[in-house]
A and B are shown apart, each in its own frame.
Chain A
Amino acid sequence: GAVVSQHPSRVICKSGTSVKIECRSLDFQATTMFWYRQFPKQSLMLMATSNEGSKATYEQGVEKDKFLINHASLTLSTLTVTSAHPEDSSFYICSARTGMGHVGAFFGQGTRLTVV
């Protein structure tokens, strides 16, 4: 099946710094990618839809200036957590759809962000 790769898998950063997470579709082009956040023992919450060549669409309650999304190419979307705080510590997962037959989504392996 289609492969979505996310990097890094784990990152620890200091409060006030910014962290960039990459999401790549390895064997297909993804005009749209999605960023989810997962709190411990909770489900995935859609944060935003990343659109290639245009601005991301954020879900209600998600701070655009806090979570910067860039979809520079058909195979790469990045999520930057700016001025990170401990409450931003979470598991972030990206996904993409191939748009070719498969009606589900393919997910990256996730990034565990810990802000200290």
Chain B
Amino acid sequence: AQSVAQPEDQVNVAEGNPLTVKCTYSVSGNPYLFWYVQYPNRGLQFLLKYITGDNLVKGSYGFEAEFNKSQTSFHLKKPSALVSDSALYFCAVRDGDNFNKFYFGSGTKLNVKP
């Protein structure tokens, strides 16, 4: 079965500092991994994905994520956080048997303070 874990409910960083939001996964077969961001009372917005290729994936708004197969991790990173990055972040994996089905982590609330 596919699953995703986000061990941190909340991450606090100061503006300008680097940020990391953690995600680990468990899949059968090749992982198709995603990060989405959710602003209050809004749907999810796609940030980036890993399908194959380079382990470092670059996405929207300056975010990137590093795929680590040995650690089964897909941590989201940004070199310099902005206050506007404050939101809820979800890691997701696509089902290997049903490509239409996504499994989401519990979400991590990112707080960037000025």
A positions within 8 Å CB-CB of B = 1, 4, 6, 9-10, 32, 34, 41-44, 46, 49, 91, 93, 95, 97, 103-110, 112
Contact = CB atoms under 8 A, between A and B. Distances in A.
Contacts of B101: 46, 49
B107 A110 contact: no
A104 B43 contact: no
16 contacts: A6-B43, A34-B100, A42-B106, A43-B106, A49-B101, A93-B44, A95-B43, A95-B102, A103-B49, A103-B51, A107-B36, A109-B42, A109-B43, A110-B41, A110-B42, A112-B41
B104 interface: yes
B104 A44 contact: yes
A91 B43 CA distance: 9
Contact of B100 (A44, A93, A97): A97
